[in-house]
Amino acid sequence: MSLLHSSSLSALCLLVACGSGSPMQSDPDAMHPADATILVGSGTVSFLDDPTGTPLNEIGAAFYAHAPHCAQETISGCTYTTCDAAPAPVSAGTLTMHWPSASGDQHLDPGPDGTYTFELTGLELWQAGDELTVSAAGSAVPAFEAKLAFASHFDVITDALPQQLVRGGDLTIGAGEPGLPGDRLDPSVVSFVQGSSVLSCAFPAPSTPASLGYIVPGAALAKLSTSSQATMTWVSTTTATVDAGDYAISVVAMHAGMSPLALDVY
């Protein structure tokens, strides 16, 4: 696995784990109804498909008894997130997954570091709209089940990709139409990863499949540091959420429109 893919997926998973709706983003002084479950744990299960170059499929999952502490700032519609080191992960037991091209149920157990990882190259496991199901047998994290449709396919216009990032200057990028006429169009997220910090800008699903321009505001790019490269990713996304006891679980499907791109920041 490319280190760029690995680090980018890990950062995006952590971003989902402490994103909006996560218990760490809640007001600690907020009042809760007497019968409400206060969610203190978090977890993510992520499916990533990157058909650029040699097709790459990744599944990753991690669960935390206490959600990673993250600070978030909104700038010009984008979100800049910096997270502390993640706590030690806990187990949800064996994950069982299924999708249309699978020969049967697929099983995944946590590795030595407590996280769940799988990768396969050379094949495209998921098509736009495929129903993905995932269930956990339960352990420290109670058993749960979720399903979602896989994210729509799209192609980034590579000629419009930057060669470098200039802090304070708007960045205009473009995405082409999906693979087939009538394909569903999903929202997408452009992210720039630097260490434990992620700048992400979400774009709504386009109203037509025609090539469109997207702008990452310069005010948001100004949050990036010039001390290291930023890894740019652009994925279409679908998300499902489910509660498992006092854990908030996000299941995310991501289709990459481009391979991760390491860029100098000026």
Distance (Å, whole) CA 7 – CA 252: 17
For residue range 89-102, what is the model confidence (pLDDT) as tens digits? 999 999 999 999 99
Residue 1, classified by CB atoms within 10 Å of its CB into exposed (0-12), middle (13-18) or buried (19+), is exposed
User: Which pLDDT value is given to residue 22?
Assistant: 36
pLDDT, position 205: 78
pLDDT at 61: 95
Grouping H, G, I as helix, E, B as strand and the rest as coil, residue 10 is helix
The predicted pLDDT at position 153 comes to 83
Report the pLDDT value the prediction gives residue 20, as an integer from 0 to 100: 36
Q: Kindly give the pairing relationship between strand 41-50 and strand 247-256.
A: parallel
Which pLDDT score, from 0 to 100, does residue 66 have? Answer: 87
pLDDT at 69: 82
pLDDT of residue 29: 38
pLDDT for residue 146 = 97
Low-confidence ranges of the chain (pLDDT < 70): 1-39, 176-184, 206-212
167, HSE (Cβ side, Cα atoms, 13 Å): 13
- Sheet of 106-108: strand order equals 106-108, 95-98, 131-136, 144-149
Encoding tokens for residue 263? 């860029």
Q: Do 243 and 212 contact (CB within 8 A), yes or no?
A: no
pLDDT of residue 211: 54
Residue 39 has what pLDDT?
64
Please give the Cα distance from 25 to 81 (Å, whole number). 11
Torsional sign, CA 91, 96, 99, 105:
positive
Exposed/middle/buried for residue 30 (C-beta within 10 Å: 0-12, 13-18, 19+): exposed
Q: pLDDT tens digits, residue range 169-224?
A: 999 888 765 555 456 678 889 999 998 899 999 988 766 655 557 899 999 999 99
Residue 131 has what pLDDT?
96
The DSSP letter of residue 265 is B
